[in-house]
């Protein structure tokens, strides 16, 4: 039995949640692994079943764990049904889910600038892939993603295998490279569409766009991707949901 460190007045379930999260971040439990039972976790943390259950429920709500009848609780794979929704923060004008498709616009290798290297924890000049991906609703282009991917983590990445992926980009990272995205940091702003963007999205130059900068992290807070997403807000609204979900 291991006692986790606890700050004064910190609820016990939060201590357990942090302990489970640390085991996920360390890679002790890999994607798809079944975690110990509630009884085993209660013994390990030296707490009651109710405390374990609340901590696990929060991690399930965050999408890091998945609970299934007759299977138990497992570490989420990004190929599971909820994976895309977990990191896609857009809905339609009436709040309805959006069904989007994607098409690769460009793929090239380049050297990381000083700013990009800092975001990705790389040395300036380190090799990265720069990807431009267009997202469509029906046949209408509504989003352009500019994505920078460190080739130190994704060594054999090519436009051919990137395009041929079966699922979402993050599912592809996990399935092909064993890199799980577990957290993203987003900064939301706005910009005017410059000529190139306007042409891709079928807009007039200077039209307003949402601009979202996102850094994606794997375990141990290691950055694995940086992207800038431009969105035609006439077709998609940004929605941020926080707190436990039923």
Q: Tokens 């439990």 label which residue?
A: 29
What DSSP letter does each residue of 38-62 carry, written as one string?
Answer: HHHHHHHHT--HHHHHHHHHHHHHT
Residues 49 and 161 in one domain: no
81 has pLDDT over 80: no
How large a percentage of the chain has pLDDT more than 90? 61
Range(s) of the domain holding residue 112: 83-238
Q: Which of 77, 223, 104, 228 is nearest to 152 (CA)?
A: 223
Mean pLDDT of the chain: 89
Q: How far is CA 122 from CA 110, 114, 143, 232, 246, in A?
A: 13, 9, 27, 32, 39
Chain-centre distance of CA 110, in angstroms?
23
Per residue in 182-198, pLDDT tens?
A: 889 999 999 999 999 99
Residues 33 and 125 in one domain: no
Do the domain assignments include residue 2? no
Q: Which of 206, 167, 209 is nearest to 188 (CA)?
A: 209
CATH number, position 27: 1.10.10.10
The pTM (predicted TM-score) of the whole model is: 0.76
Chain-centre distance of CA 79, in angstroms?
12
Do the domain assignments include residue 21? yes
CA torsion sign for 212, 218, 221, 225 is negative
| Higher per-residue pLDDT: 79 or 126 | 126
Residues 32 and 123 in one domain: no
Do the domain assignments include residue 5? no
The residues with which 209 forms a beta bridge, in sequence order, are: 191
Residues 25 and 88 in one domain: no
Residues 104 and 133 in one domain: yes
């Amino acid at each position: 039995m291991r006692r986790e460190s606890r700050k004064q007045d910190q609820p016990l379930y939060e201590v357990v949640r942090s302990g489970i999260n640390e085991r996920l971040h360390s890679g002790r439990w890999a994607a798809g692994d079944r975690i110990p039972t509630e009884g085993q976790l209660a013994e390990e943390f030296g707490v009651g079943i109710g405390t374990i259950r609340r901590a696990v429920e929060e991690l399930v709500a965050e999408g890091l764990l998945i609970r299934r009848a007759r299977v138990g609780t497992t570490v989420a794979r990004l190929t599971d049904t909820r994976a895309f929704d977990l990191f896609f923060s857009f809905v339609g004008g009436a709040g309805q889910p959006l069904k989007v498709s994607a098409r690769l616009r460009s793929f090239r290798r380049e050297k990381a600038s000083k700013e990009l290297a800092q975001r990705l924890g790389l040395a300036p000049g380190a090799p990265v892939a720069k990807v431009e991906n267009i997202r469509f609703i029906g046949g209408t282009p509504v989003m352009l993603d500019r994505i920078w991917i460190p080739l130190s983590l994704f060594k054999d990445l090519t436009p051919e295998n990137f395009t041929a992926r079966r699922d979402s980009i993050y599912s592809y990272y996990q399935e092909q490279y064993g890199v799980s995205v577990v957290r993203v940091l987003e900064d939301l702003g706005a910009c005017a569409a410059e000529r190139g963007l306007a042409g891709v999205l079928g807009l007039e130059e200077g039209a307003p766009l949402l601009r979202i900068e996102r850094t994606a992290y794997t375990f141990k807070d290691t950055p694995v991707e940086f992207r800038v997403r431009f969105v035609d807000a006439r077709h998609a609204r940004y929605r941020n949901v926080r707190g436990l979900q039923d």
